[in-house]
Amino acid sequence: MVLVLSAASYGKSCAQKDFEAIVERIKSAVDSDLDVSSMEVLKRFFEKMEYKINKTTLDRSKKTTINTTVRVINLPAYAEDCMEQIMPLVFEGARQEIINENAVRYFIELFKKEDLLYKETTIDVTMAQNVNGTWKIVDGEDELYGAILTMFMELESMSDIASRSL
């Protein structure tokens, strides 16, 4: 009986470690196709991102479900303020490059603040062990990426609506 419990604990901890490694890779993966200033915004956003593993469960099929809460900066909450700062440039006819630089500057300064608004999303991610012993996500990967990147998607959507109204 002790051996079975030890094996289950070992499986959970290995899956959890591999899950944490996956999240850290996501946090450090900044698309090299982006311009330098956009990469800096993403880097700082990911530095502020947090996650907490709430519960790890090993089921009979030797899959591990990791219940985790992802906490990211609520970017849409700051969209209006950012727009107020860059709209004068738009109305002056500034080049898109200048407008983008000012938006990037706004977010870089924003991320320096300690009292930011965050959004939390709790998800389940199921992992299974590969033949080589590492664990991979078999269910919940879209939810994980969604929890991390949803703020950018919402911000982009708001930006599209604003640009159509001009």
Q: What is the pLDDT of residue 134?
A: 87
Taking the C-alpha atoms of residue 52 and residue 142, their distance in angstroms, rounded to an integer, is: 18
DSSP helix/strand/coil, 156: helix
Q: What is the pLDDT of residue 156?
A: 67
pTM of the model: 0.78
Number of domains in the chain: 1
| Residue 162 near residue 83, CB atoms below 8 Å | yes
- 149 to 62, 74, 142, 144: CA distances (angstroms): 29, 11, 10, 9
Range of the domain at 77: 2-165
Q: What is the pLDDT of residue 100?
A: 87
- 87 to 15, 99, 111, 135, 165: CA distances (angstroms): 48, 9, 21, 48, 12
| Residue 82 near residue 102, CB atoms below 8 Å | no
| Residue 71 near residue 62, CB atoms below 8 Å | no
Q: What is the pLDDT of residue 109?
A: 94
Token couple for 7? 């094996």
In the chain, which residues have pLDDT < 70?
1-12, 30-34, 155-166
